[in-house]
Amino acid sequence: IPLVEDVCEAHGATFKTRKLGSYGLISNFSFYYAHHMSTIEGGMVCTDDEEIYQILRMFRSHGMIREANNEEVKNKYISNYKDLNPDFIFAFPGYNVRNTEVGAVIGRNQLKRLDENIKKRNKNLALFLDGLNKKLYRKDFILEGCSNYAFPLVLKKPDFEFRDRLESHMRKNGIEFRRGNAGGGNQMRQPYLRGIVKNKEWEKYPEAEHIHHFGWYIGNYPDLEELKILNLCKLLNDLY
Ligand X SMILES: Cc1ncc(COP(=O)(O)O)c(C=O)c1O
- Which range touches ligand X (CB under 6 A), out of 1-9, 16-24, 137-145, 154-162? 1-9
- Cβ closer to ligand X: 10 or 136? 10
Are the C-beta atoms of residues 36 and 61 closer than 8 Å to each other? no
Number of chain residues interacting with ligand X (CB under 6 A):
8
CB of 182 to ligand X, least distance (A): 4
98-to-51, 74, 113, 142 alpha-carbon distances in Å = 19, 19, 24, 36
- Cβ closer to ligand X: 192 or 240? 192
Which residue in the set 55, 78, 182, 230 belongs to the binding site for ligand X (CB under 6 A)? 182
CB of 221 to ligand X, least distance (A): 14
SS3 21: coil
9 is a contact residue toward ligand X (CB under 6 A)? yes
Task: State how far the Cα of 227 lies from the Cα of 127, in Å rounded to an integer.
Answer: 10
- Which range touches ligand X (CB under 6 A), out of 6-14, 135-143, 206-214, 231-239? 6-14
Are the C-beta atoms of residues 205 and 169 closer than 8 Å to each other? no
SS3 36: coil
SS3 45: strand
Are the C-beta atoms of residues 173 and 239 closer than 8 Å to each other? no
Q: Please state the φ and ψ torsions of residue 195, each to the nearest 5 degrees.
A: 95, -25
- Which range touches ligand X (CB under 6 A), out of 4-12, 109-117, 161-169, 207-215? 4-12
Residues numbered 24 to 43 that lie near ligand X (CB under 6 A) are: 30, 32, 43
Task: State how far the Cα of 199 lies from the Cα of 201, in Å rounded to an integer.
Answer: 5
- Is residue 35 part of the annotated active site? The answer reads yes
- Cβ closer to ligand X: 45 or 182? 182
Residues numbered 94 to 123 that lie near ligand X (CB under 6 A) are: none
Give the active site residue among 35, 36, 210, 212. Answer: 35
CB of 61 to ligand X, least distance (A): 17
Q: Please state the φ and ψ torsions of residue 186, each to the nearest 5 degrees.
A: -65, 110
169-to-14, 164, 165, 222 alpha-carbon distances in Å = 35, 9, 6, 25
- Cβ closer to ligand X: 9 or 67? 9
- Cβ closer to ligand X: 40 or 239? 40
Interface with ligand X (CB under 6 A): 6, 8-9, 30, 32, 43, 182-183
| Active-site residue list | 35
